[in-house]
Amino acid sequence: MRSYALLSLVASALTGKVLADCFSTKLGYPCCTSTTQVVYTDNDGNWGVENNDWCGLNSCWANALGYPCCTSTTQVVFTDNDGNWGVENNDWCGLTNNGQQVSKTTTTIKKTTTTTQKPQQTQNVVDCSGKTLKSNTNLTINGRKVIVKFPNGYKGDKAVPLLINYHPIMGSASQWEGGSQTAKAALNDGAIVAFMDGAQGPMGQAWNVGPCCTDADDVTYTRNFIKEITQKACVDPKRIYAAGFSMGGGMSNYAGCYLSDVIAAAAPSAFDLAKEIVDSGKCKPSRPFPILNFRGTSDNVVMYNGGLSQVVPGKPITFMGAKNNLKEWAKMNGCTGSPKSNTPGNNCEMYENCNGGVKVGLCTINGGGHSEGDGKMGWDFLKQFTL
């Protein structure tokens, strides 16, 4: 059995930090000194956030294999040469001290290295038993309808991705379920797709993206839906995505600001972030967030170059503009260098050197109007990423 040194936080209180050094210092980020919450995990290790910046969390032996330490369970469900494994949040976690979990508040496990490979069966453990929702249905969340569509042949015996697809202003879930090419691509690829009804605003059903276009709490609405659908259907909680057209594109941009802990990536069409949200500093993704926007140069509803729109009575909104929207997402994701041209397709540009291995892109449709982008391209972008 390997030996691992437990470092007491009592000692850390005397030294003023958890460890003198950790993996993140070699990458230009500090070690976490007060938080223990994991908000992002990559091949380097577990990351937290302190003082509005990323910091490295000291890790345990399981992190060397790409898995977290157990924080609440002590049940051993699998044992190999690395040690004892438990399951939390539908994923494997490493147990220490003969089955005792790591306490987030009292101990830190020093990282070790190993070349042993984890069994292939542990890609993402989701228990499908008891999840009986397997065919097209309507749910009611916060008094609003959500249409849930399942791919052909879905048996409910394995976890699949979920695409949340937001409709345009004055639209509805019923209207949008037959009109989205991104939704069709996702269904054809074996994903579940959800079409949510927006709340009533001055111009019919719409979404609240800050200054416009309803007063509803669509962030909580989306969270409540995700909670219910993952309880009822065998959805992979690490592969939930957002897309949408027009006002729905605005909501899927907005989701990156407020829902990045539950949504893995977004592919919006024909809408930017609101300048009012960005300028006020309210867009603060909890982790690096992959996003690919589709915009038409001749869009006369959401202008490609941005600007003030007062179409919705009493709710003016200032669009960032396609290029500025791209730059803002690149900035928030710590992207460096120049975007790669014609990636993932012609007239697209993609930042590929971003924090956490995410990508940030813009596909411009020259002469294109107010319409949804390439659905297959959008879906192929989304499914690359997991939480």
Instruction: Read off the pLDDT of residues 153-173 as tens digits, 9 standing for 90 and up.
Output: 999 999 999 999 999 999 999
Residue 118 lies in a domain: no
| Cβ contacts of 103 within 8 Å, gap of 6 or more | 71
Q: Is 261 left (phi over 0), alpha (psi -120 to 50) or beta?
A: alpha
Q: Point out the least confidently predicted range of 41-55, 109-123, 305-319.
A: 109-123
CB of 276 closer than 8 Å to CB of 300: no
For 247-266, write each residue's pLDDT tens digit: 999 999 999 999 999 999 99
Asked if residue 146 and residue 85 are part of one domain, the reply reads: no
Asked if residue 325 and residue 240 are part of one domain, the reply reads: yes
Mean pLDDT score, 208-212: 96
Asked if residue 291 and residue 353 are part of one domain, the reply reads: yes
**Percentage with pLDDT > 90 across the chain:** 66
For 339-356, write each residue's pLDDT tens digit: 999 999 999 999 999 999
pLDDT at 243: 98
Asked if residue 288 and residue 264 are part of one domain, the reply reads: yes
Give the Cα separation of 62 and 255 in Å (integer).
Answer: 31
Whole-Å CA distances, 271 to 88, 126, 130, 301, 303: 37, 35, 39, 9, 9
Average pLDDT of every residue of the chain: 84
pLDDT at 124: 59
Asked if residue 72 and residue 50 are part of one domain, the reply reads: no
* Residue 327 lies in domain: 137-383
Residue 131 lies in a domain: no
Residue 165 lies in a domain: yes
What the block records as the tokens of 346 is 């012609």
For residue 198, the number of C-alpha atoms closer than 13 Å in the C-beta half-sphere is: 33
Give the Cα separation of 131 and 69 in Å (integer).
Answer: 27
Asked if residue 78 and residue 40 are part of one domain, the reply reads: no
Residue 153 lies in a domain: yes
Whole-Å CA distances, 360 to 91, 232, 251, 347: 27, 32, 17, 14
Alpha helices in 4-138, H assignment, sequence order? 9-15
Asked if residue 141 and residue 51 are part of one domain, the reply reads: no
Asked if residue 179 and residue 88 are part of one domain, the reply reads: no
Residue 264 lies in a domain: yes
Of the three residues 32, 59, 86, the one that is the final residue of a domain is 59
Return the CATH number at 291.
3.40.50.1820
Residue 3 lies in a domain: no
Q: Is residue 316 predicted with pLDDT exceeding 80?
A: yes
Q: Point out the least confidently predicted range of 56-65, 223-232, 369-378.
A: 56-65
What domain count does the chain have? 3
Asked if residue 281 and residue 149 are part of one domain, the reply reads: yes
Asked if residue 141 and residue 90 are part of one domain, the reply reads: no
Residue 16 lies in a domain: no
Return the CATH number at 55.
3.90.1220.10
Asked if residue 196 and residue 224 are part of one domain, the reply reads: yes
Asked if residue 85 and residue 41 are part of one domain, the reply reads: no
Query: Which amino acid, residue 351?
Result: Y
The pTM of the full predicted model, rounded to 2 decimals, is: 0.70
Residue 13 lies in a domain: no
